[in-house]
Amino acid sequence: MTQTVPTAVHTVRQRYREPNPIEPTQWNPVLQVLHEHRSVRRYLADPVSEDTLRVLISAAQSAPTSSNLQVWSVIAVRDPARKARLAALAGGQAHIEQAPVLLVWTADFARLRQLAEDHGAPLEGADYLESSYVGFIDAALAAQNAVIAAESLGLGTVYIGAIRNNPEAVAAELNLPERVFAVFGLVVGHPDPTEDARIKPRLPQAAVLHHETYDLAAQREHVTAYEQRIGEFYAEQQLAHSWTERVLARLASAASLNGRHRLRAALNGHGFRLH
């Protein structure tokens, strides 16, 4: 049986679920990988080799980094018992245990603190909110490069924001020193084809792309159209909730943040002063 290669317009239609998407005039294999991204939550037992891991990390280190500070590090967790403990701390997500490797990305100022101490140099600027932002942003940019690299190799990924549900326990499990904070996890492995993970439609570009100035009122109709399109996607996945219900429930209260409302205190307690 001949396998059909998705066209650019087919891929864009999947991403937006618009009935008549505009066909891109520019396209290449990198754009194909980017547009085909989907979260994978069921994995085969096949390992991810050290050679593959090295390629993912070199891709991550090829991401931009503010002032070349490189204030991030990543911990590769393969030990089944440790993955199980981290899965429990992240709300019992089974794919953390199932996948061969969990990458925990951190904002890392311990390395620069050590460098400053070795040279007897001040580092007061590291204690400001701006610097912490840089650490979180650098980690996110690096991780997303790793995601693209992994998916280009046929691997599946899913981010684990729930690593922040219990930051102190995660820090203890990973032996994180002061000024190293776990930002999120990233599961990497070989997708189980029986999961049939689909491309989740995103908001129309007209809802997120503004020209010259921001226009909130113009978004309403596009958000309404999106609610219908993603509702069809959820129905195919046998999920009952609408996008509107999901996002409003997710941000309804401090309790709905599942422990992450304590993030400022957790950061302060781990050496991030946030002046």
Overall average pLDDT of the 151-178 stretch: 98
CB-side neighbour CA atoms (13 Å) of 136: 13
- Residue 180: its H or E element: strand 180-189
Contact 56, 188 (CB under 8 A): yes
Q: What is the pLDDT of residues 175-204, one digit of tens each?
A: 999 999 999 999 999 999 999 889 999 999
Structure-block tokens of residue 268: 């302060």
* Reported confidence tier of residue 268, pLDDT bands at 50, 70, 90: very high
List domains and CATH numbers for the chain.
38-197+257-269 (3.40.109.10)
63's CB contacts (< 8 A; 6+ apart) are 138, 141, 142, 144, 145
- Predicted confidence at residue 2, as pLDDT, reads 45
- Predicted confidence at residue 1, as pLDDT, reads 42
**DSSP codes, 14-62:** HHH--SSPPPPS---HHHHHHHT--B---B-SPPPPHHHHHHHHHHHTT
pLDDT > 90? residue 274: no
Q: What is the pLDDT of residues 216-263, one digit of tens each?
A: 999 999 999 999 999 999 998 888 779 999 999 999 999 999 999 999
pLDDT > 60? residue 25: yes
The verdict on pTM exceeding 0.85 is: yes
Of 174, 167, 152, 183, nearest to 258 by C-alpha is: 167
* Reported confidence tier of residue 209, pLDDT bands at 50, 70, 90: very high
